[in-house]
Amino acid sequence: MKTVRYALSVFCLFTLTAVASASEPELPKAIAENWHQWRGPSATGVAPLGKPPTTWSETSNVKWKVAIPGDSTATPIVWGNQIFLTTAIKTDREVEIEPADPARKNPFNIQKPKNFYKFVVMCLDRRTGKTEWEEMVREEVPHEGHHLDASFASASPMTDGKQLYVNFGSRGVYCFDLAGKKKWERDLGKMEIFNYFGEGTSPIVHGDSLVVNWDHQGGSFITVLNALTGETRWKVDRNENSSWATPLVVDHKGRTQVIVSGSNRVRSYDLKTGEVIWECGGQVMACIPCPVTDGNLVFVMTGYMGSVAFAIPLDSTGDITDTDKIAWKRKEPGMSYVPSPLLYGDQLSFLQGNKGIFSCLDAKTGEPLIDRKRVEGISNIYAAPVGAADHIYLTGREGTTVVLKRGREFEIVATNKLDDRFDASAAIVGNQIVLRGREHLYCIEAK
C-alpha cells in the first residue's frame, strides 16, 4: 500500500504520522487531503475529502496519461503536487544463472532471472504528469523470480511529508527527501518467498519510527528503524512463513500498536519495545489483505485455502485465540485473497478471493449487509477497493473500474474502461484518481 504533498510547516513530523491510522474525523488536513501511504490517509482505503469523478474513459475525464518505464504493481502515493512511485526496469545485460535449488518447491515453474534490473524511484508532477526526478537505487540481477502477476517493485512507498521511504525488499530500504536526494539506505538481507511468488510489503512510518515486516521462508522478523538515520531500534523474530500484508500502526489509549497479519496469527507489537501486546490465531495461509481499524476494533481476513474474517478489540492482551475476547468471527466462503478490505464508516467491504464478487459486513457486528453480489464487468481483481464521496471504486485487472454507491444495498453507479492492465490500487486525492497500469499512469479528473 502512499501519497506525498504540500504545506508541512504547520505540522510537525510526529503530528503528520501519528494520525495516519486514526479515525477519519480526527485527521489533520495535511493528511486527509493526501494519499501518503498504501491504503490512504487513515489506512482504510478511504479518501475522506475526495470528490473524484464516477465516469471516465480513454477519451473522457483523463487529465493526463503517461507511459512509465519498467514494471510495477505498487500503488503510487501523492503529497501536494508530487506523485511518487517505484519501478523495476529490465535491461539487456545478462549473466549465466545457476540451476534452481531442487529442494525448494516451484509448482509454477518460475525461472530465476538472468537480466540485470534497474530499481528506480520516480516523482511526477501531479498537474502535468511530467517527471520531476528519477533516481536509480540499485542495478542487479534478482536472486529469485516472481509470479507472472507480481513484479520486482510491488511495495508502495510512504511519506511523512518530509521524507520518502521505499522498500525494495531484497534490494534494500531507502529514504529520500522530497526533492530526490537519498538520505540513507539499509540492506536487510535476501528474502526466500513461498513458491517464488515475489515480495511486496510496504513500509510504514510513525513519528520517527519506520516499520518493516520481513516474512519469508528463510527466517522471518519485524524491525523498527530510526526513520531519520536508518539505524535499527529493535528487531523481533516471527514464527511465520511468507506473507504480504502491510502492517497497521495505531495509537490506542496512550500506547502505539504495530499490528501485523500472518498465516499463523495476527499480532500486535509495542512500537517502542517490540513486545507482543496481543496475538490471535485462526487465519489461513498466504496472508495478503492488510488489517484495518475503526479505532476500537481491528479487522483482519484471509481467503486462500480457507476463508475467515474476525474483529479484535484493540484493548486486548495476551493470546486471545478462540476466546470470547474476539468481537466477532466469520468463516464462511467469500473473504478476500489478494485485495485488502475497505473500511468505510461502519461498513467493511471486500471481494471474494480475487473475483468480482462483492460483500459488505456491518463492522460492529460482522453481520452481512451485502452478501456476495456479482460485479458485472469484473472477473479478476487484485487492486484493493477504495472509497470517497459515498462511492466505492473497484478496479479489475482487465482495465474496468466499477463504481458502487456506498450503502446497505448493492447499486452500480457507473462502469468505466481504460486500455491497460491494473494490479495496483487507486489513489484518490481531491477531485482526482491516480491509476497505475502496467504500462501507463493515469490521472482521472472531471473536465
Stated as kind and residue range, the H or E segment containing 14 is helix 13-18
Give the range among 8-12, 165-169, 247-251, 306-310 with minimum mean pLDDT.
8-12
pLDDT tens by residue, 295-316: 999 999 999 989 999 999 999 9
pLDDT tens by residue, 75-124: 999 999 999 999 999 999 999 988 878 888 899 999 999 999 999 999 99
Give me the pLDDT at residue 8, please.
Answer: 32
SS3 18: helix
**pTM (2 decimals)?**
0.93
Give me the pLDDT at residue 28, please.
Answer: 87
Measured distance CA(224)–CA(194) in Å, rounded: 24
Give me the pLDDT at residue 438, please.
Answer: 96
Give me the pLDDT at residue 16, please.
Answer: 39
Q: Report whether 113 contacts 103 (CB < 8 A).
A: no
Q: Report whether 32 contacts 48 (CB < 8 A).
A: yes
pLDDT tens by residue, 194-207: 999 999 999 999 99
287: left (phi over 0), alpha (psi -120 to 50) or beta: beta
**Strands of 292-293's sheet, edge to edge?**
292-293, 297-302, 308-313, 328-330
pLDDT tens by residue, 63-81: 999 999 999 999 999 999 9
Give me the pLDDT at residue 22, please.
Answer: 38
User: Which residues neighbour 398 within 8 Å (Cβ) at sequence distance 6 or greater?
Assistant: 378, 379, 380, 421
Q: Report whether 39 contacts 337 (CB < 8 A).
A: no
Give the range among 16-30, 108-122, 218-232, 428-442 with minimum mean pLDDT.
16-30
User: Which residues neighbour 188 within 8 Å (Cβ) at sequence distance 6 or greater?
Assistant: 172, 173, 212, 214, 223
pLDDT tens by residue, 237-289: 999 999 999 999 999 999 999 999 999 999 999 999 999 999 999 999 889 99
Give me the pLDDT at residue 100, please.
Answer: 78
Residue for cell digits 477519451?
Answer: 59
CATH 2.60.40.790, applies to 13-445:
no
Give me the pLDDT at residue 103, please.
Answer: 85
Measured distance CA(288)–CA(304) in Å, rounded: 9
Mean pLDDT across the chain: 93
SS (H, E, C) 396-444: CCCCEEEEEECCCCCCEEEEEECCCCCCCCCEEECCEEEEECCCEEEEE
Measured distance CA(101)–CA(141) in Å, rounded: 17
pLDDT tens by residue, 372-425: 999 999 999 999 999 999 999 999 999 999 999 999 999 999 999 999 999 999
Percent of the chain with pLDDT over 70: 94
Give me the pLDDT at residue 25, please.
Answer: 44
281 exposure class (CB count in 10 Å sphere: 0-12, 13-18, 19+): middle
Give me the pLDDT at residue 414, please.
Answer: 98
pLDDT tens by residue, 33-60: 999 999 999 999 999 999 999 999 999 9
Measured distance CA(75)–CA(437) in Å, rounded: 10
